[in-house]
Chain A
Amino acid sequence: MSGHDSKYFSTTKKGEIPELKDELNSQYKDKKKDAVKKVIAAMTVGKDVSSLFTDVVNCMQTENLELKKLVYLYLINYAKSQPDLAILAVNTFVKDSQDPNPLIRALAVRTMGCIRVDKITEYLCDPLQRCLKDDDPYVRKTASICVAKLYDINAELVEDRGFLDTLKDLISDSNPMVVANAVAALAEIQENSCRPIFEITSHTLSKLLTALNECTEWGQVFILDALSRYKASDARDAENIVERVTPRLQHANCAVVLSAVKMILMQMELITSTDVVRNLCKKMAPPLVTLLSAEPEIQYVALRNINLIVQRRPTILAHEIKVFFCKYNDPIYVKMEKLEIMIKLASDRNIDQVLLEFKEYATEVDVDFVRKAVRAIGRCAIKLERAAERCISVLLELIKIKVNYVVQEAIIVIKDIFRRYPNTYESIIATLCESLDTLDEPEAKASMIWIIGEYAERIDNADELLESFLESFPEEPALVQLQLLTATVKLFLKKPTEGPQQMIQVVLNNATLETDNPDLRDRAYIYWRLLSTDPEAAKDVVLAEKPVISDDSNQLDPALLDELLANIATLASVYHKPPDAFVSRVKTSIQRPEEDEEFDGVDAGSSESSVHAVDNSSSPSVSSNVPYASTREGAPAAPAPAPAPVPDLLGDLIGLDNALVPVDQPAVASGPPLPVLLPSSSGQGLQINGQLTRRDGQIFYSIMFENNSQIPLDGFMIQFNKNTFGLAAAGPLQVPQLQPGASARTLLPMVLFQNISPGPPSSLLQVAVKNMQQPVWYFNDKVSLQPFFTEDGRMERANFLETWKSLPDSNEIVKELTASLINNVDVTLDKLAASNLFFIAKRRHANQEVLYLSTKIPGNIPFLIELTTTAGIPGVKCAIKTPNPEMAPLFFEAMEALLK
């Protein structure tokens, strides 16, 4: 099948426009069609044929589908430049949208959506309404996408005409293609709206998972991508979802596989059973490896993603390092990414083989790749202490090849190795000095100079070596000048002889008088002053011990990593940057954008490290991070008076000013003293005390504000950073205005499993509190496990025994609680029962009492407890068995506190 359309390009010469005009108005069908083709050909090569608009539109009413398509195409291109004339086409569009042929109906609605002219948009609504309910699925699937088009042009219109509801209904359509496109459209609309529009309930979830089995490969990607932001209610829910998604790992389409991996990884965060997690890791490895047999461009995307995945779950590919070895014909961009992953997977077990590979790569021809390979050897040396020596010997071998850029790169990494392992490998300095005169790159030069300065006392001719660099001091780049300055000072301090003394004069002169670089000048002046006033102090400063470095290059910040993992397969995961960093489109926000900004502004104003804390918290109120926060049905409902839905949190807090009632804080106002979290000395007079407590089966943050400042404080807001339990506020913080000297106490209902921080369980809870008058305060609270013990933790005896047996011995952890004392068993048991630790059985063993108890924490994690003690004698042996042994340290802390 081949055409001869190229002839249409050749006819476009001078005087063509009038000629085409004639032809377009010809009464002969064929001539007309040829003319339209010529017009499109001219359009394709970038000629302006918009002046033919009326003539082309006149050809629109035709039975010929091909001709119709061409005219439509013309309209898409030129309607915008001729908005007044575009209206001429409307009638035909509307008519076509009712054509008996579904192909034409779909074509009409598809094209109208692409014409971004307001006047046309209005006429689009009725046909669209009809097409969304068309009998033919082909028309419905086209109409679904058209809603997203319309939303992009005029969001209000879409909302007013109720298209969103129709679109939501299409999620239940009988045709999988329609479902997939409806999901894509809804997901896009949601992305651009601040309101929750597309909420994934467990009901939609199960419907979409079913559609997954039947729709096209592209549709599967839409659905998986949309579902990956569903938050499962608990571990079991997560396991069910994963079970239904795993078959997708077998799909031939790499994009389906990657989106399935994303979804599984997201759900895995919630799964508590280590067996299930291990099993899933095992299942994901082969499909990930197979991605490396795809087209190189896909491999590249896969590798960028694998880079993220191994940072979070290193075990998945721990044994697969060989598949990342570079092939001779791999494109350079694939090789570079493979190298990065090899470094990440390098371990004491495989380092010998990895080094052999790196050495091989270091002798290839592509300079960038060779450099990266040399650097990789250095990074492995820093990462793996036991392999450092082998890495260095490889580097020395490479230096001996005397390829200029290899030597320079090696010297740069050796400097880092010296810093990582001080006083270990300095014996190789002599070898390094041999290649001194070949160095011509600033970074290598600077590194060599640093080495000479740092080890001046071990290098006999250090002064000569440095002097050779000094001659060209004024011409050197700033990086080298700074190192030269510092190295000369070091040399002088270590060997205060005549030679160095003269050198230092030259350097200081050069660096102060002859330079325009303020960094260099300022550093030189400081050294000068130090040396002239107190040489001993200078020694303390300049020769101070340096902190040991570690290989953290290319390790992403955990919060960023979280965000990127949620974006697997997308551009964000390729760039390793959050979407906001490169998505340039303006959001059509409907709700209070300025308030968002205000809050962001506050963040930016605080110190760098604390900005982080708030960024991490991906606060439920900052819409860009969690635009769909309200979809978390799974979270336990808070008993607080009508807790506001989470995404409105910010709105409510801001609105609090006027809606503020002098809140009656009943039983809350009194209570046991709370630990101080923010002393008034660091809170500009604001003191905050607080502690997690459990009441009526619900976790609260019992918190007290004391205003010791001179001004009234109001508009309190609170945020929690990601934490082990995913604790977050279930509603707004209800604190009245605080006059100077006044205090207020409140119970903030909390919900769980919102922003779970990965990694081993930690008791750290980072909190940010803000009010209208002061900057944001950040403080840490130490969470006790005690308020997490749930009311339903009681176990039957038989159940207890069975569970105990079913858990492997490795899940049993024992700790001697030396400070604890049980005087009266019954009193203690009552006390424990009040904290939801339920007594099951008791046994006497010699003069010891053995008590068996059970409890549970949210996420359905049971703890089986065995306490062994002698009444009245300090010391309790506490043995626990739980599916989550990582929680044991936190549990023991809580137990110790209870048995005090």
Chain B
Amino acid sequence: MAGAASALFLLDIKGRVLVWRDYRGDVSALQAEKFFTKLIEKEGDPESHDPVVYDNGVTYMFIQHNNVYLMTASRQNCNAASLLLFLHRVVDVFKHYFEELEEESLRDNFVVVYELLDEMMDFGYPQYTEAKILSEFIKTDAYRMEVTQRPPMAVTNAVSWRSEGIRYKKNEVFLDVVESVNILVNSNGQIIRSDVVGALKMRTYLSGMPECKLGLNDRVLLEAQGRSTKGKAIDLDDIKFHQCVRLARFENDRTISFIPPDGSFDLMTYRLNTQVKPLIWVEAQVERHSRSRIEIMVKARSQFKERSTATNVEIELPVPSDATNPNVRTSMGSATYAPEKEALLWKIKSFPGGKEYMLRAQFSLPSITAEEATPEKKAPIRVKFEIPYFTVSGIQVRYLKIIEKSGYQALPWVRYITMAGEYELRLI
């Protein structure tokens, strides 16, 4: 079962090694580079390639970020989930250090990159990926001090995500409840998939080692406490917690208790499988008039209460790749043709509940087509929107208690917002 990475590579867009760290001495950079450049060449689009590839006794796992590939090589039966996730965390750490991870920032900081690779992984085993804590003892030139640094307590503590001795004048916590609605509607207008993925995003500015306790209107918890749950409680399908939350405690009595990291993090995510009525419903009729032009009629309807308003609504309507001469009229908002996306983008700044807007568009098509009819790319209609002060699930933060031994008062601020996630309606 045991297994570890042999080496970690940071490669440029053509697959050439920028920086690499050898952990076990059994895979050479030359070998890895040769393999990977060949893979990129052959595939053209490496994003479509399986992220786990075997070649000549070595397994390569890679992810892409901007113009950089991050790749591990291994000769053992290592934990694939763990290593791939680790690569994503490495991206996060680098982003924390260099603002953006790209070829240039790696070159500009190669000394720190080596230091980080040494600290985050040892002998191919992931060790530590808390960017905030790492930056306390591994610093870039600009911030480097001449005093010798020591490993922060947090690196080996049970509370590995927070250092001691943090001080704020004003102790505040911001809690954003963000729900993304994912929906898939097939060409018959049937909703074939819908779920809501919610996240409690926190930004904490708290001194010391604060003990926090969060109360939600979670049905299981309320029922366990013998409170009435009518109408207000919600069922959360699957909850995932940041590592700071005490899972055993939650399993026992559904209490969400934790010592938060400093700054922003996702405290928890949850998923709801309940069928949601699509908040914004889009119907499109496409008429092809012979081979010369195409006419699209679209109706967009908001299906939520009138007191809420969706903002920044963007409806992406696919059009044929060879369409030209757009002629568009809308009853609200503006529409622009985006040939690079093969789509018409209809933007509505503010879309109150219970309203219906229309769009009509006409395109010319070339009269000559290829003889061999290749199937057309069938992109779905995609919708983006945000609805502030509203959640689909009805989740409510009942309280957020913050207790620190110095006894300060901290103010929690809570905001709710619903957004479109993967919101797709397939065309007929």
Contact = CB atoms under 8 A, between A and B. Distances in A.
B85 A333 contact: no
B25 to A, nearest CB: 5
A329 to B, nearest CB: 7
B238 A103 contact: no
B79 A3 contact: no
Contacts of B243: 216-217, 251-253
Contacts of A546: none
B110 A569 contact: no
Given A3-B108, A106-B151, A569-B82, A152 B2 contact: no
A152 B24 contact: yes
Contact of A101 (B99, B109, B150, B241): B150
B155 A2 contact: no
Nearest to B51: A297
B305 interface: no
Given A103-B151, A360-B187, A77 B22 contact: yes
Nearest to A148: B123
A63 B126 contact: no
B3 to A, nearest CB: 6
A302 B149 contact: no
Q: Is the interface of B mostly helix, strand, loop or mixed?
A: mixed
B57 A293 contact: no
A114 B125 CA distance: 13
B158 A214 contact: yes
B81 A327 contact: no
Given A102-B150, A583-B77, A286 B238 contact: yes
B137 interface: yes
A890 interface: no
B81 A258 contact: yes
A252 B266 contact: yes
Interface string A1-19: 1111110110000000000
A2 B1 contact: no
A407 to B, nearest CB: 12
Nearest to B191: A322
B238 A1 contact: no
Contacts of B54: 575, 582
Contacts of B195: 323
A331 interface: yes
Contact of A301 (B77, B80, B137, B247): B80
Interface in B24-81: 24-26, 29, 47-52, 54, 57-59, 61, 63, 74-81
A670 interface: no
A720 interface: no
A621 B106 CA distance: 50
Nearest to B113: A5
A145 B76 contact: no
A401 B375 CA distance: 9
Contacts of A295: 63, 84-85, 88
Given A80-B25, A222-B125, A567-B1, A572 B151 contact: no
B192 A69 contact: no
A570 B75 contact: no
Q: Is the interface of A mostly helix, strand, loop or mixed?
A: helix
Given A290-B238, A298-B84, A190 B187 contact: no
Contacts of B63: 295, 297
B271 A187 contact: no
Contact of A360 (B197, B266, B426): B426
B1 A218 contact: no
Contact of B57 (A102, A145, A329, A584): A584
Given A217-B243, A570-B1, A46 B126 contact: no
A110 B21 CA distance: 14
B280 interface: no
A254 B193 contact: no
Interface stretch (A242-250, A610-618, A781-789, A812-820): A242-250
B341 to A, nearest CB: 12
A41 B19 CA distance: 9
Nearest to A363: B375
Interface in B125-145: 125-129, 135, 137, 139-144
Interface stretch (A87-95, A173-181, A505-513): A173-181
B107 interface: yes
Contacts of B125: 145, 181, 184, 218, 222
Contacts of B239: 250
Q: Which of A137, A225, A253 has the most CB of B within 10 A?
A: A253
Contact of B155 (A116, A138, A253, A259): A138
Contact of A103 (B47, B61, B148, B271): B148
A247 B250 contact: yes
B26 A585 contact: yes
Interface stretch (B114-122, B358-366, B392-400): B114-122
Contact of B29 (A46, A259, A301): A46
Contacts of A145: 122-123, 125
Interface in A559-587: 566-567, 569-575, 579, 582-585
Contacts of B84: 295, 297-298, 301
B403 to A, nearest CB: 21
A65 B422 CA distance: 48
A252 B144 contact: no
Contacts of B76: 191, 583, 585
Interface string A289-306: 110011111101110010
Contacts of B156: 136-138, 141, 175, 177-178
Contact of B22 (A76, A244, A258): A76
Interface string B254-271: 000000000000101101
Interface string A234-264: 0000000000101110111111011100000
B81 A364 contact: no
A116 B137 CA distance: 28
Contacts of A290: 238, 240, 269, 271
Interface in B341-391: 373-380, 382
A177 B149 CA distance: 20
B271 A286 contact: yes
Contacts of A217: 243
A28 interface: no
A561 B373 CA distance: 44
A584 B79 contact: no
Given A1-B97, A585-B75, A225 B2 contact: yes
A301 B52 contact: yes
A40 B110 contact: yes
Interface in B314-354: none
B410 interface: no
Contacts of B269: 252, 290, 293
Contacts of B375: 363-365, 370, 401, 403
A481 B47 CA distance: 39
A332 interface: yes
Contacts of B241: 250-252
25 contacts: A1-B99, A2-B99, A2-B105, A3-B141, A5-B111, A44-B19, A69-B114, A70-B111, A114-B25, A141-B127, A145-B122, A216-B127, A218-B82, A226-B1, A250-B251, A251-B243, A252-B241, A300-B51, A302-B81, A322-B192, A333-B51, A365-B376, A402-B373, A566-B1, A571-B74
Q: Which 10 A-B pairs have the closest CB atoms?
A: A286-B238, A584-B57, A255-B82, A187-B2, A247-B247, A579-B77, A297-B51, A137-B156, A188-B2, A247-B251
Given A44-B110, A225-B1, A255-B81, 6 more contacts: A218-B128, A226-B2, A286-B271, A290-B271, A370-B375, A583-B75
Interface of A: 1-6, 8-9, 37, 40-41, 44, 46, 63, 65-66, 69-70, 73, 76-77, 80, 101-104, 106, 110, 113-114, 116, 136-138, 141-142, 145-146, 148-149, 152, 175-178, 181, 184, 187-188, 190-191, 213-218, 221-222, 225-226, 228-229, 244, 246-248, 250-255, 257-259, 286-287, 289-290, 293-298, 300-302, 305, 322-323, 325, 327-329, 331-333, 353, 356-357, 360, 363-365, 370, 401-403, 566-567, 569-575, 579, 582-585
